[in-house]
Chain A
């Protein structure tokens, strides 16, 4: 028998410009994975205003952040929130393959 369905959610907007992350956190089911990409990666930086939103939900979700997008924005030296795993493009593809469906929060 098939186990419970699990989804991957991607967030690509800055939490300071849009409510995309907030909506994702409200509507993703516990047990989902959340991957921060493009401007979404700003939410993964420890000590930022958005960090609390992510840090408060690390029990509900497994958080990932796309390393190349961190590096592109000059954030490679910044500390990330505990519990957020950095993945590369291969890791991105593996996540997509691992989960049953993907919702792109735009």
Chain B
């Protein structure tokens, strides 16, 4: 047996269905930002992805975030990059991946929000639809 440790992984042709579950508000902890990085990495590898916003996670995509006075990095524009990735995946025949950006209706409504409050276009799903979608994934990553 060759004891040499592989330093490169052959990911050619490997495609899985990922769901990224975002359940935390954006600035109180590092979870939201870290999850965003995971999503962008999955785009680099042309993986199918569902980016889901549940519970306080819906606050991540509320428009009009201004962190200047709080002295923190405003990472909400990056969600626009995710939206562009999704649009590219939808429209460019050379990009072989499917992306969906979804929000749980109950989480949104409990917080007095509507889809118009978000900076990006989302699909609003009932809890049962979201449960089915989650159950169908190969890999679920939570933050």
Q: Chain A residues in contact with chain B, CB under 8 A?
A: 5-7, 19, 23, 26-29, 32, 100-106
Beta-carbon nearest neighbor of A30 in chain B: B131
Residues of chain B within 8 A (CB-CB) of A106 are 23, 31, 142-143
Are the C-beta atoms of A32 and B135 separated by less than 8 Å? yes
What are 17 contact pairs spanning A and B, CB under 8 A?
Answer: A7-B135, A26-B106, A27-B54, A27-B104, A27-B130, A28-B134, A29-B132, A29-B134, A100-B138, A101-B137, A101-B138, A101-B139, A102-B140, A103-B21, A103-B140, A106-B142, A106-B143
CB distance from A60 to the nearest CB of B (A): 11
Contacting residues, chain B, for A19 (C-beta < 8 A): 55
Those of B115-142 within 8 Å (CB) of chain A? 127, 130-132, 134-140, 142
Q: Which B50-66 residues sit within 8 Å CB-CB of chain A?
A: 54-55
CA distance A29 to B129 in the complex (A): 10
Question: Which residues of B approach A to under 8 Å, CB–CB?
Answer: 21, 23, 31, 54-55, 104, 106, 127, 130-132, 134-140, 142-143
A26 touches B127 (CB 8 A): yes
Whether B143 contacts A27 by the Cβ 8 Å rule is no
Q: Which residues from B are CB-within-8-Å of A104?
A: 142
Chain B residues with CB under 8 Å of A5's CB are 135-136
Extra contacts, 8 of them, besides A23-B55, A105-B23 (Cβ < 8 A), are: A5-B136, A23-B23, A27-B131, A28-B131, A101-B139, A101-B140, A105-B142, A106-B143
Beta-carbon nearest neighbor of A10 in chain B: B142
Chain B's nearest CB lies how many Å from the CB of A79?
Answer: 31
In the docked arrangement, what's the CA distance between A7 and B135, Å?
Answer: 6
Q: Which of B104, B127, B130, B140 has the most CB of A within 10 A?
A: B140
The answer to whether B135 touches A29 (Cβ under 8 A) is yes
Q: Is B127 touching A27 in the complex (CB atoms < 8 A)? A: yes
Q: Which residues on the A side are within 8 Å of B138 (C-beta)?
A: 100-101
B contact residues around A100 at 8 Å (CB): 138
For residue B99, give the distance in angstroms from its CB to the closest CB of chain A. 18
Residues of B within 8 A of A6 (CB): 135
A93 nearest CB across to chain B (Å): 18
Closest residue on chain A to residue B56 by CB atoms: A19
Q: Which residue of A lies closest to B140 (CB)?
A: A103
